[in-house]
Amino acid sequence: MLMTIRGRIASFAGPIHDRLIVYAAGAVAAGLLLPSVAARLSGGVPYMLGGQVLGVAMTLTLGQFAVVARRPLPVLLALAAQWTVLPLAGVALFKVTSDPTLRNGALIVAVAPAEITSALVALLAAGSGAVAITCMAGSLALGIVLTPLWVSAVLGPSSHVDRLALIAELTLSVAVPMVVGVGVRTWWPGLHRLRSRALDLSAACVVLVVFVSVGSARAFVLSASLLPCIGLCAVLLVTGYGLGMALAWPWRHHAHLWRALLFPVGMREFGIAAAVALAVSPGAVGVAGVYGAMLMITAPALARRLRPVQVDPGSVG
């Protein structure tokens, strides 16, 4: 009897990456209930982001990236689309929203680069990890220049974003873990057997980031601004996912490719959005937190919906 109960608990609890939506929803609730704990963990966010990238990178080899390099058009189009259409959607929301906090927050989220978690979510949808992580990393690299440009163009030149700080954070959170993870996986083929565990590492780090993000936005979540903020974030999410699907449509007959393009295009990096908001419009940090919570529930749900029933996300390349 006891073994049966333990088996049912284990079946329900894991693997973490395959139940990301459940854990993310739990992290949202925990962040609202335990904001002080979330605040104490906030200094570790860059390392949590690095863990997300490392987990996905440990499932990929250099050879997979060579295939992407030989056919770069999908990635280039994805980068072009997300840095034009989505920022313009943010500008439109900025123009039609009267509340300064909400309008600034919507703009900042819209001009943030691709969400670091998007590579993991693409894998969960049975998309190509190499294509997804290339789109994500390329977007983050462009974001060092383009995010500050979009912010200053709309909010004014006095809205300064520290590019050096962005470079330092992205080096720690993306470049180093990606190089280490891919290098280890390439030179140690047997690591393939730990693929599911690597994705669990990435998913666990996602859950921690959501917990910290929601905890930091607790006061905003409990304010009267929550409902209009949810509306704005819903518009950004629908626009992002819609753009991702439209961009990926020409490759609809290559399922692993279009699933890989959808999520980096559709998901914005709410951690970077929060950092930018702190620098130029501190009240808008809550918008990034609400967006992040909604994103990390809707994206895994969409990935599960798109993933073929017979495919285990822990075995997808």
Residue 316 pLDDT grade (very low, low, confident, very high; cuts 50, 70, 90): low
CA dihedral 228, 229, 233, 234 (to 10 degrees): -30
Mean per-residue pLDDT over the chain, rounded = 90
How far apart CA 194 and CA 173 sit, in angstroms, is 22
- Range of 96's domain? 44-307
Strand, helix or coil at 97?
A: coil
User: Is 4 part of any domain?
Assistant: no
User: Is 13 part of any domain?
Assistant: no
Which long-range contacts link 269-272 to residues 24+ away (Cβ below 8 Å)? 269/112, 269/113, 269/114, 269/115, 269/116, 269/140, 269/143, 270/109, 270/112, 270/115, 270/213, 270/295, 271/45, 271/49, 271/116, 271/209, 271/213, 272/112, 272/113, 272/140, 272/143, 272/147, 272/166, 272/169
User: Is 15 part of any domain?
Assistant: no
Place of tokens 């329900």: 12
User: Is 303 part of any domain?
Assistant: yes
The answer on pLDDT for 151 being more than 60 is yes
Residue 269 pLDDT grade (very low, low, confident, very high; cuts 50, 70, 90): very high
Q: What is the pLDDT of residues 95-104, one digit of tens each?
A: 999 999 999 9
Over the range 105-129, which residues count as b (16 or more CB within 10 Å of their CB) and which as e? bbbbbbbbbbbbbbbbbbbbbbbbb
Cα–Cα nearest to 266, from 293, 243, 233, 247:
243
Q: What is the pLDDT of residues 4-49, one digit of tens each?
A: 444 444 444 568 988 999 999 999 999 999 999 999 999 999 999 9
User: Is 18 part of any domain?
Assistant: no
Is the separation of the CB atoms in 118 and 136 below 8 Å?
yes
User: Is 277 part of any domain?
Assistant: yes
Average pLDDT over residues 185-190: 90
CATH code of the domain in which 116 resides: 1.20.1530.20
How far apart CA 52 and CA 115 sit, in angstroms, is 11
How far apart CA 56 and CA 307 sit, in angstroms, is 17
Q: How many domains does the chain have?
A: 1
User: Is 220 part of any domain?
Assistant: yes
User: Is 38 part of any domain?
Assistant: no
